[in-house]
Every structure is written in structure tokens, then in C-alpha cells.
């Protein structure tokens, strides 16, 4: 059975992008992995919404889209390196 990874909320701090998943898990990745987000203002970062049945995040003003699944895969790949 293939279950979609769906987002519930997005938060930021000075170092990390935090995505809480519908199942309660939280993914934290360095904001430096996302140049478009790293250079954005707090107002721009706060202006996001979930897309594709909550499997992706879009920052319309930044013209930036992030797949939650690819975010998790990137995290796993970097941990294995």
C-alpha cells in the first residue's frame, strides 16, 4: 500500500524549515537547502499554501514549489552520505 505523505502546517526559524505531517511527524530541513526560501522575507515565507492534496507546498509570490516527499527523500539521502 502506497500512502501519500501529506503536510499539515509549515513553520520556520532562523535555521530550519519545519513541516508537520498529517500523521504527527515533523520534518526539519536546513533552510539553506532552498535558496529561494533562504532569500525570502518572513512575510513571503508566511504566504504559503498546500497544493496537490497537501503533498506539496507553494509559495506563489516566490514562484516556488516543494514536494514534501522529495523534501523527505533529500533529507534521507543527505543523512546517508
**What are the boundaries of each domain within the chain?**
7-80
Residue 10: name the closest of 53, 66, 52 by CA: 66
- CA-derived radius of gyration, the chain: 12
| CATH number for the domain formed by residue range(s) 7-80 | 3.30.2020.40
Burial 12-49 (b: 16+ CB within 10 A, else e): eeeebbebebeeeeebebebeebeebeebeeebbeebe
Mean pLDDT of successive 10-residue segments in the chain (81 residues)? 80 94 93 93 94 96 94 72 64
pTM, 2 dp: 0.85
Q: Parallel, antiparallel, or unpaired: how do β-strands 26-30 and 49-51 relate?
A: unpaired
Residue 10 near residue 65 (C-beta atoms within 8 A)? no
**Cα distance between residue 31 and residue 17, in whole Å:** 5
pLDDT on residue 1: 32
Amino acid at each position: 500500500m502506497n500512502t501519500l505523505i501529506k503536510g499539515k502546517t509549515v513553520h520556520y526559524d532562523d535555521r530550519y524549515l519545519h513541516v508537520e505531517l498529517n500523521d504527527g511527524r515533523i520534518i526539519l530541513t536546513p533552510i539553506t537547502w532552498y535558496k529561494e526560501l533562504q532569500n525570502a522575507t518572513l512575510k513571503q515565507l508566511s504566504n504559503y499554501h498546500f497544493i496537490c492534496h497537501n503533498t506539496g507546498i507553494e509559495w506563489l509570490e516566490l514562484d516556488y514549489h516543494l514536494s514534501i516527499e522529495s523534501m523527505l527523500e533529500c533529507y534521507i539521502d543527505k543523512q546517508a552520505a
